[in-house]
Amino acid sequence: MTPPDRIEELLDAARTAFAGGTLVQLKLGGYHGGEPDLKAVLIKKINVKGGEKYSFTYRYKTRDTIKNFTETEALELLRRGLAEEFRSARLATTEFDLMFERNGAKMRLKRTEVDGREAPSTEHNRTKNRPLTETARPWLKALGLAGKNGAIRHDAQDKFRQINKMVEIFAPLIAALHAERPLIVDMGAGKGYLDFALYDYLATVARRPARIVGVEMREKLVADGNATARASGFDGLRFETGTIMEYDAAGADAVIALHACDTATDDAIFKGIAAGATLIAVAPCCHKQIRRQMTAGKPDARFEPLLRHGIFVERQAEMVTDTLRALLLELNGYRTRVFEFVSDAHTPKNNLIVAEKDGRVSRDRDAVLKQIADIKTMFGVEQHYLEGLLEG
């Protein structure tokens, strides 16, 4: 009698769950193939214009890549992957979990029944799947996004889409925080678009109450923000006037900063590290500090062609600045990822650095310090502003 083919059994179960709308997630782990830094692949069902697709998120050490496949393509990839490159998989459906393990040619499949698990929505980039569906909110009107009739204004559609995208990115990061009612500090909050959206979503949709403080040096914005928070009944959201460096962030579970200008991003990162925040997430803005040093300093002569054209100096400055930020965060015990949070059609400043404090991170400090020193030498950088803050 031929032994049961565990891979085909798993694929059959995945196909049935996909067709029946009971698929929660299929996760492949134990990768031992040739792609550097690939950690896992997460697969879910999505509905896009071309119909139902298997969406594969390839999770690398510091980034995610998403690719969508038809069923035939997906099953073929899975068949090959499970036979050759992944040692484990977990198929989660609304009814059961199937754990797959492979050790050489030996394969095991274990089924566990589950109760009360819901399948996630499969809608993709559709208006109705936006986290914020209720548009008749006082804060949306106060921030000029919704008109008198409570509908999002025509000229604010893009901004509303971006805010939803930010909520989509931040909500799971906040949900992963251990604190019962986490304290999130938004540095350089401006009008507080994200703070209102996130607070509203967490309180009313996700039911994961949080406290949010927006720190902003412009008094008028702070006064307006506080008035709107009160009018919205958001008692856990408030704004404080002052600079980032003046603000005492002790007790913050998350420190975020979106497009805080130039080194204000570093102030925010520093405050997050000093407070021991579990999550630090920043979308940097301009990169003048490092650009100035690169231009005035003595980069490695071999890089001259890379730094000859102004536009490329700008881009190199961005990469050097944010790479050093990521390394400095790692040096301080944070697992760090950098990815694009919105399309560059909306804003060229679309990188997000997400750093999560992870007690298990054990990077070789000397090796990280050497990488930092090497990058600085290569690009003629004397000191990254954040280094100065961290050195005290």
Ligand X SMILES: C[S@@+](CC[C@H](N)C(=O)[O-])C[C@H]1O[C@@H](n2cnc3c(N)ncnc32)[C@H](O)[C@@H]1O
The binding site for ligand X (CB under 6 A) comprises 188-190, 193, 215-218, 243-244, 258-261, 264, 267
Question: Which tokens belong to 16?
Answer: 């049935």
CA distance 334 to 327: 9
Beta carbons within 8 Å of 90's beta carbon, 6+ residues apart: 25, 26, 27, 29, 97, 98, 99, 100
| Cβ closest to ligand X, residue 12 vs residue 340 | 340
| Cβ closest to ligand X, residue 245 vs residue 307 | 245
CB of 244 to ligand X, least distance (A): 4
DSSP assignments along 197-211, one per residue: HHHHIIIIIS----E
| Cβ closest to ligand X, residue 131 vs residue 284 | 284
CB of 224 to ligand X, least distance (A): 12
What is the phi/psi pair of residue 300, to 5°? -55, 130
Q: Strand, coil or helix: what is 110?
A: strand
| Cβ closest to ligand X, residue 26 vs residue 244 | 244
CB of 104 to ligand X, least distance (A): 52
Which residue is nearest to ligand X, using beta carbons? 190
CB of 348 to ligand X, least distance (A): 13
| Cβ closest to ligand X, residue 200 vs residue 267 | 267
| Cβ closest to ligand X, residue 46 vs residue 386 | 386
Among 346, 328, 294, residue whose Cα is nearest residue 338? 328
CA distances from 53 to 10, 40, 168, 176 (A): 18, 19, 20, 27
Strand order in the sheet with 211-216: 237-241, 211-216, 183-187, 254-258, 279-283, 351-357, 334-340
Q: What stretches of the chain adopt beta strand conformation (E)?
A: 23-31, 38-48, 51-60, 64-69, 86-93, 96-103, 106-113, 183-187, 211-216, 237-241, 254-258, 279-283, 334-340, 351-357
CA distance 293 to 313: 11
| Cβ closest to ligand X, residue 94 vs residue 347 | 347
CB of 328 to ligand X, least distance (A): 19
Beta carbons within 8 Å of 352's beta carbon, 6+ residues apart: 169, 281, 282, 283, 338, 339, 340, 341
| Cβ closest to ligand X, residue 193 vs residue 341 | 193
CB of 219 to ligand X, least distance (A): 10
CB of 256 to ligand X, least distance (A): 9
Any idea what the Cα angle at residue 250 is, between residues 323 and 187, rounded to 5°? 50
| Cβ closest to ligand X, residue 27 vs residue 291 | 291
